[in-house]
Structure 1
């Protein structure tokens, strides 16, 4: 399926954008690194860096490769480290954290900062508020008052 366009066909002889070429040259000069590191090093907009890296890594005319994988600091998917070259990409052998491990890490950080007790107190108060709202107000019914 072709990529969506704005309705106008792209010109085959269209000149390359000089700003994009300069961005790509700056990105290639900043390698090796992850996409996030490239954004920090170059100072270029995140969207421009991500699309340029994806373009440079795509198969026809490929200029960069994945040299290794780093674990995500928050337990997400592994992060690719890119470098200049056309060799095959490195295999991702890192394992992702399970939901239980991510949750345990989150609560451990809360306990370190003493926010865990505050959060539990908030949950308890909400629980008892809901429970009180569901229970019939029996004393008012007995005394004949409005419920």
Structure 2
């Protein structure tokens, strides 16, 4: 991320539910998410799609929280996991996080897991794949 003070442009009225205006008006509010400009978002999504291991993915999760305040949790779904759709990727509610970004991050992570299934296998193993056996 660049250290410049560029902030994300507001979404068109009615197109998003990010509540950017409320975030800007809150004194002392966490405005880190506004540093995610459209070009930085594109770089983030490309980086998420190119993760090479579970450790790399976890590192990206930590960096997204440290730099932008985005909390992403990735875990096997409650039912049986038969495909990458069975892995639950959840983004915590956050004022200022654009609706499209909220959808694009899990999609990028799923694409990475589909390209490198060994990451998904490691994720399943880390959550005790055989817990009900």
Higher relative contact order (CA 8 A, sep 6+): 2
Same fold, TM-score > 0.5, yes or no: no
- Which structure's CA Rg is the greater one? 1
Q: TM-score, length-normalised on structure 2?
A: 0.29
**TM-score relative to the length of structure 1:** 0.28
